[in-house]
Every structure is written in C-alpha cells, then in structure tokens.
Amino acid sequence: MAARPLIYPGSVDAAGRPATLGVLGGGQLGRMFVHAAQRLGYLTAVLEPDAQSPAGLVSHHHIQTAYDDPAGLAQLAGLCQAITTEFENVPAQALQTLAHTRPVAPGAAVVGIAQNRIEEKAHFTACADVSGVTCAPYAVIETPAHLQAVCTERPDLLPGILKTARLGYDGKGQVRVQTADALAAAWAELGGVACVLEKMLPLTAECSVLVARGWDGQVVVFAPQRNVHVDGILALTHAYEGAVPPPLAARAAAAAVAIAQHLDYVGVLCVEFFVVDDGSAHGGLVVNEMAPRPHNSGHYTLDACSASQFDLQVHAMTGLPLPQPRQHSPAIMLNLLGEVWFDASGQPQEPDWQAVLRLPGTHLHLYGKAQARPGRKMGHLTITGPDVANVKAVARRAAELLNLPGLDFM
C-alpha cells in the first residue's frame, strides 16, 4: 500500500514534475475540489468519461475514460501524488487499484461501505456504543424468504421506506410503503434487488455534520447545519448558531466524529441525521446515512467560513495540518435545480440574475453544466449577512425571484 503523504503546495517530485492531485469524477464537487487545490498551487487531474464535465473543464489534466479502465487508472496514478473521489458510486475496486501505488483518501473499504446501505447500517449499529446514536429500525430484504419474514415477523417496521441497497441517492430507489402487500409490490417494482426496509419515524428536522480527518488522526468539525429536502433532494441549508439546538448539535458533532474515527477515515465525511419526536425537549437523534466526500449541505462553507470543506479535503489528502474552520457569517444556502431555468408553463427562461445579485450578501455558484433539466443540480446560491434575521429576509426574497416555492425559512 502507498505510504501516508506529505505533499507541499508547489513542490516537485524526484523527476521534477509539479505536485498533482487527482480526483475520480467530474461533477460539481470535483470542480470545487479542483479550484481549492489550484488555489494552493497544486496541479490537478480528473478522471471522468464525460468530455464536458464541470471538473474536467477546469482541471490541468482530464483523463476521459471509464472509472474502471485500467489504462486510465494507470495514467492517473502516473500523474498524481495523491488521489480522492468526488462521489461514492465510483467503483471501490478502482480506488483499491490506485491505492497500491498512491495514497487514496478516502479508502476503498470506506467507500464500499457507503455504497451499500446494508453495510452502512451494520457499521452504524456496530459503533453505536461509541457514537451514542443508532439508525432507524430496519430489516434487510434480499430474497423472497426475507420478504416473507419481514411481513410476518416485523409488522412494527410498517409504515416504512423501502430503499435499494445500492445506487440510491437524491430520493431515487426509494418507495414509501404502508402495508405488507404494498411492500411486496414495491420490492417487485424495484426489481427484487437487495433492499433495506426502514421504519418511518416522526421526523421534526434533518441535519448534517461535516468532519475532516487527517492521516495522523487529527480531526476538525464544522458546526452542524439544518437541512430541508424537497422530493428527496436537498433544497435549503440553514447554517448559523442555533440552526440546530445546541444540545442536539453537540451530540450530532460528537457522533459524526466517532463514526469517522471508527472507520479510520481520511478526508471529508458528511454524516446525515434525522431529528425525531421522542417526547424530549429537543427530540432524539437518529443517524441516516453518510457520504464519503464533501457534501451539498456544506457548500455554504465556501462563503461563510475561514476554510471550506474543499480546502479541508485538500489538506487531509496531502497530509497538511487541518485548520479548525471558523464561521464568520450566518448563512443560508439555496440549491438551484434545473427547474429554475423554466417558467410555469415549462418554457426555457434565464433566471433573473440581475435582481438576485442586487440583493446584499448573495454569492452565486454555477457549475458549468450546459443543459438544464428538472432535478439536475445546476448551482447554488449562498446568502451571508451580519445577522440571522437579515440572512433569512434576503434568502426569502431570493427564493421568490427564483420561483422556489414552499421553502422553510423558520
């Protein structure tokens, strides 16, 4: 396995080649990682099959090939001194192959856990004693016998949400079920693939925590942020003191750190939690899932913090010290999906950026995607300001200008 790195910005290797960082995946997370690496003086290389990918268009090198292509992986390893991934569905075996010759963070084993809800929930259960939280009650369904056993022996899991074990994200691969008959029909509709059935809980809020951990075990953590989802896709992030009640925020931060430590994780990890109505003053905390990478809910850190989640990803993978990020402004982040580029009748329209950018404290980030379509993440808008009331007022007005209905700014 490759040794732990210490790769200084602007340094060169024994052959005189400048320090280059690699990333598998060419989406917007890769693009923002590339920008962070380049600000520190690193060259970058992106392995991504799409010729017009957001990250590939801004990187020094774009290796246009499949994620598991041996020649492409060899080229990436030859160019780079350390490598990361920008999304969890890159083949874990590709990361394992790269790790034979280069430091890879996060590692293949951790990414493999995050790719499979069954393994992910088993991990959360295994570290519940140290994290202080567990996941929602659930059952694994991989065979007709499992389905029958759940229907007859676990009626307490209904109503529930049936989720595919693999390749489910942004609400995809999920079906809400009320009865045993509906569960059987939903499993058939999903193709009879491996799934988990989660008990539906009385949610009062959702929150997430970003943790960065280095090769040496150093850990820093961002304050928890409160998230609002619409149709399973993140729509809004509240990031300011009090967005998550302090006792709950402390528990969530400690749990996320414990989960990262238990995995011996390296890089930025996002852990998502449900807040449930359990009769206590602030509600109970249930871990939902984790993302082994920077996360949509952490984009506000680009504009509201002394170091962003992407800065910390660069520091972690290169062995540089991890600065404790300081949030200097309250912030709200609006996710901009493809719907913003269409009017009420479905005709294409250009958003009124002039009106939006006249608002104080607005920071627009567009991802360089040529074609807008419903549900596609095209960019985000972060609003910062001197106080929470100001930020909420501006965010509310921005949402009106962008025709983003029904968002919770409380």
Which residues does the annotation place in the binding site for ATP? 117, 163, 168-174, 198-201, 206, 229, 288-289
How far is Cα 117 from Cα 401, in angstroms, rounded to an integer? 38
**63 DSSP 8-state letter:** E
Please identify which residue in the block is written with the tokens 């059935």: 197
Residues contacting residue 180 through CB under 8 Å, at least 6 positions apart: 151, 155, 158
Strand arrangement of the beta sheet that strand 61-63 belongs to: 61-63, 43-47, 20-24, 82-85
Phi, psi of 138 (to 5 degrees): -150, 170
The candidate with the shortest Cα–Cα distance to 304, out of 335, 336, 330, 334, is: 330
The candidate with the shortest Cα–Cα distance to 7, out of 40, 47, 35, 49, is: 40
How far is Cα 30 from Cα 293, in angstroms, rounded to an integer? 10
Q: What is the largest CA-CA distance in the chain?
A: 66
Q: Is the peptide bond before 106 cis (omega within 30 degrees of 0)?
A: yes
Tell how strand 160-164 and strand 61-63 pair up.
unpaired
Binding-site residue numbers are 117, 163, 168-174, 198-201, 206, 229, 288-289
Contact 84, 24 (CB under 8 A): yes
Phi, psi of 46 (to 5 degrees): -115, 130
**26 DSSP 8-state letter:** -
Contact 193, 164 (CB under 8 A): yes
How far is Cα 403 from Cα 232, in angstroms, rounded to an integer? 19
